[in-house]
Amino acid sequence: MTVSNSSLPAVPLLRRSELASRRPALDLVAAALLIFTLFAVYGRVGGFNYAAIDDAGYVAENLEVRNGLTLSGLRWAFAGAYMHNWHPLTWISHMVDVSLFGLAPGPQHVINALIHGANAILVYFLALALIRHRLAAIVIALLFLVHPLHVESVAWIAERKDVLCGFFFLLGTLSYLRWCAQPSRWHYLQLVAAATLALLAKPMAVTFPIVLLLLDYWPLERLHDPAKRLPQLHPLMLRLVEKLPLFALSLGCGLITLGAQKGAMADIETLSLSQRAMGSCVAYATYLYETFLPLRLGVLHSVRPIDPLGIFLPSAALLGAVTFAVFRARRHSPWLLFGWLWFLLTLLPVIGLVKVGTEAHADRYMYLPSLGLLVALGPYIARAAEANLSRAAAAVAIAVAFYGFLAWIQIGYWANSYLLFTHAIEVGGERYEARVDLSTYFLEKGALDRAEEQAQLALEINPRGPMAYANLGGIRMARGDAAGAERAYRQAIQYDPHYVTALNNLGMVLEREGRLDEARMSFAQAQIEDPNQPKVRANLARVNARQ
């Protein structure tokens, strides 16, 4: 089966004989090149610490994860949502890390990088299966490996869910190609298992069955094949029916995720549907631009008012023009429509129509969607290599070096919170969370004046910010001002009655002042809010023992 009306080499259905005819020595060379590049770009992450965002809640201060892999931990991972997320396989992977390496952050960073390297190897085999050109496949895999948009998913321990989901998502696409070539119950079970594990790692994999339909369009061309067993069914309907178990898995996971993220969703009165639609359009255009020119990436991208003429209309015009162009080219270049739809549809769950959190967009969301754009370029890389191999190789080397250098710089910002958040402010403007995290960084270093300066800057942005008041409480406690610390912590709790850190720290102030009953009440409330905080549990046990 081949792509019709194409001037490129045919892209046949994957078959056992073709798999056997691959040259394993060249595949090993490709894998070795990818691993070498991985260590060249990401090798220093093993010396990085926990990031100030989410890493504490995911690992460092999460009681279930800190205990390593246990039966109670497994029950907890599947039982419900934590930190507005339900991804049990990701929790289990963090538990395994702690069981193997303890709480040291370095090995956890290395595991993230190794999974990313494994994903790049899977991308190589997927691209080879789709495009049937080894050089194009290795270029796509290298660009996937070194692209700066992927740094956030790899260098951030809390984003283990991205690389882990990506691994099973890619494994699932390869399993699907195998099942299409050799339909059997065993191969279909492998496909379902990969899809399930991807969803258990991160619910963003809900688009997996849609991606398989895209593969049916190109390169498999199964959307027009007559059914052998059920000839009365339209081919498209048959392709949908065969994927019903996968759609059911995605639907179930999606419903669980909506329940888990309910508390983090923006209210419709806060952000209207029209604002969400415009923001989604701008986010799509931003992701597309940053795929080719990733020059101002950062960990925080605030939602800002959208200028309809200045940014929305140009974004809509860009998306409309690309969509029109790839649709017109679908007969002679179907891979363009395939790649474009992969990009659009895999981003759909996080594009902002259902708004979760306060980010306009996030680099980590492009981990899998970017692959569609890379694959769409693959046939042209193959054509360029066939026309002039040396010139194509030189262009590829420049592109990989360019993106690899940008990624290397971007990785450096994750070395500590000071670099991460000063850079975030530089590229994204003032942000309350960035100033709070800088305050926390200086407080942990004992630089109390600088910590207070950052906390006050945070309060200028958000005068009702509980985290900034909690930091002021910590600063005043460090200076011996117990009364001032108590006032600051109570102010934080006033603005967020569920704020565990403020409740716990207030209890510590009260305990030092000898007000044990009040301290016990504060610790008990903190434990009710989050039973997985080991510090809170230890503090409550200590106060109870003193009474």
Task: Kindly list the domain boundaries of the chain, sorted by start residue.
Answer: 23-414, 417-546
**Token duo for residue 7:** 């001037």
Which burial class, exposed, middle or buried, applies to 273 when counting CB atoms under 10 A from its CB (0-12, 13-18, 19+)?
exposed
Cα separation of 207 and 228, whole Å? 27
| CATH 3.40.50.970 at 417-546, yes or no | no
- Helix, strand and coil content of the chain, in percent to the nearest 5, comes to 75, 0, 25
Could you tell me how many residues make up the chain?
547
Determine the pLDDT at residue 357.
62
Least-confidence region, from 25-29, 90-94, 410-414 = 25-29
Q: Name the nearest CA neighbour of 178 among 189, 187, 170, 166.
A: 187
The residues pairing with 302 across neighbouring beta strands, listed in sequence order, are: 359
Residue 3 confidence (pLDDT) above 50: no
Contact 342, 371 (CB under 8 A): yes
Contact criterion met (CB below 8 Å) for 518 and 510: yes
**What is the pLDDT, as a whole number, of residue 227?**
58
The answer to whether 407 and 205 are in contact (CB under 8 A) is no
Nearest alpha carbon to residue 93 among 115, 125, 118: 115
Beta carbons of 410 and 151 less than 8 angstroms apart: yes
- Quote the CA–CA distance of 16 and 287 in Å, as a whole number: 37
Mean local confidence (pLDDT), 452-478: 97
53 phi-psi bin (left φ>0, alpha ψ -120 to 50, beta other): beta
State which amino acid sits at residue 502. A
Q: CB-based contacts of 159: which residues, under 8 Å, 6+ apart?
A: 112, 152, 153, 364
Average the pLDDT over each of 11-15, 191-195, 393-397 and give the range with the smallest value: 11-15
Q: What is the pLDDT of residue 135?
A: 93
Amino acid at 376: A
Question: Does the pLDDT value for residue 68 go beyond 60?
Answer: yes
Among 123, 116, 205, CA closest to 171: 123
- Enter the tokens of residue 259: 């329940």
pLDDT in tens, 488-505: 999 999 999 999 999 999
32, containing H or E segment: helix 24-42
User: What confidence category does residue 276 fall into, taking pLDDT thresholds of 50, 70 and 90?
Assistant: confident
Is the separation of the CB atoms in 131 and 375 below 8 Å? yes
User: C-alpha distances in angstroms, 214 versus 176, 250, 343?
Assistant: 12, 16, 11
Residue 408 identity (one-letter amino acid): W
Confidence tier at 235 by pLDDT (50, 70, 90): confident
Of the listed ranges 208-212, 263-267, 443-447, the least confidently predicted one is: 263-267
Phi, psi of 476 (to 5 degrees): -70, -35
pTM score, whole prediction: 0.92
Q: How confident is the model at residue 533 (pLDDT cuts 50, 70, 90)?
A: confident
Measured in whole angstroms, the distance separating CA 420 from the mean position of its chain's CA atoms is 17
Count, in order, helices (H) and strands (E) of the chain.
Answer: 27, 0
Task: Centre a 10 Å sphere on the Cβ of residue 517 and count the other Cβ atoms it contains.
Answer: 10
Kindly report, residue by residue over 319-358, the tens digit of the pLDDT.
999 999 999 999 999 999 999 999 999 999 999 877 666 6
